[in-house]
Amino acid sequence: MKNTRFHIVLLALFGLSALTINAAQLASAKVLSVTGTVTSYAENGEESPLAVGTILTEGDSVTTTALSNALLVFSNGSELVVEENTSLTLAELSQEAFSGNKSYEQLQADPSQSQSLLELNYGKVSGHVKQLRAGSKFFIETPLGTAAIRGTKFEVELSYNAERGEFVFSVHNKDGKVDIISRYAGSIEYGRGNVGDKGYDSSVSEDTSDPIPAAHHIVVRLSKDDPYFNDIIDLLENFPPDGKRPEIIIEDPIETDPESEDVSIVSPDA
């Protein structure tokens, strides 16, 4: 009798362990297609060409160059295209274990509670987040704000307008539910083409969250004249992966002893 109980306990522990491992494996994204030159970066910095069938997990990044893109499908069934000249990091991924034998791409809805936080460092992503369960999240975060995707086809972009000297964060809700979380004053008014345009206001103490109606588009702009521009934007990360990075300029150099070793400032292009 005691041996029977012992075996039952072992089986229960083994089952719990298997579920835990399964959940960890589920918190991932599978590469369905690759066009052009696309590179993946592991959390430890190791890089490799992205290939169809690769499984990406929390901490991995994907970088595309000109005329390149990659299609990913997540363990909750959501699909995402990493467009050209884009840098994206899978910052946080979790998925509760679930039964069934459907592959990621066959899922038509979130099969269990999931959490996805993607960091768009620069560029554009588009995709389709399928119906999420209560408590599930699919967030795309940028330095200027976050797109909280509730279930829709969407586009999110972070770009730099050199002519106007401003960074632009834009979110397009094509047909479902998307909230924008950012810092701006006042309410959003939509003009021609159902586009709402707001200036990022670093003086606002808390983020504002607003729903974006279906077939509407919100643009948030950060001017280089904003006193907190350099605190908000990381010029090494938030520029095109294959573009020319701006030179780093230190306005107040540290005085050094003439007899001490020379201190060199190296720009990202060096």
Residues near 158 by beta carbon (within 8 Å), at least 6 away in sequence: 120, 121, 122, 123, 124, 142, 143, 144, 167, 168, 169, 238
- CA dist., res. 209 & res. 128, Å (int): 21
Give yes or no for a contact between 72 and 38, defined as CB atoms under 8 angstroms apart: no
Rounded to two decimals, what is the model's pTM? Answer: 0.81
- Two structure tokens written together for 201: 């206001």
What is the rounded CA–CA span in Å between residue 180 and residue 178?
7
pLDDT tens series, the chain, 270 aa: 444 443 433 333 333 333 333 444 578 999 999 999 999 999 998 999 999 999 999 999 999 999 999 999 998 899 999 999 999 999 999 999 887 777 777 787 888 899 999 999 999 999 999 888 899 999 999 999 999 999 899 999 999 998 898 999 999 999 999 999 999 999 999 999 999 999 999 989 899 999 999 999 999 999 988 999 999 999 888 987 655 554 444 344 344 444 444 433 333 343
Write the pLDDT tens digit of every residue in 99-146: 777 777 778 788 889 999 999 999 999 999 988 889 999 999 999 999
pLDDT tens track for 249-270: 434 434 444 444 443 333 334 3
Q: What class is the 2-232 domain?
A: mainly beta
**Cβ-proximal residues to 13 (8 Å cutoff; 6+ apart), any chain:** none
Token duo for residue 95:
């998925």
Q: Where are the domains of the chain?
A: 2-232
Nearest Cα to 118, choosing from 160, 76, 165?
Answer: 76
The tokens for 54 are 């690769």
- Could you tell me which of 235, 162, 171, 247 has the C-alpha nearest to residue 209? 171
Would you say 152 and 179 are in contact if contact means Cβ atoms under 8 Å apart? no
What distance in Å separates the CA atoms of residue 226 and residue 124, rounded to the nearest whole number?
24
The Cα angle at residue 119 between residues 95 and 192, in degrees rounded to 5: 110
CA distance 182 to 75: 28
Structure tokens at 197: 């345009």
- What is the C-alpha to C-alpha distance for residues 154 and 146, in angstroms, rounded to an integer? 13
pLDDT of 243? 54
Q: Quote the pLDDT of residue 173.
A: 98
pLDDT of residue 25: 55
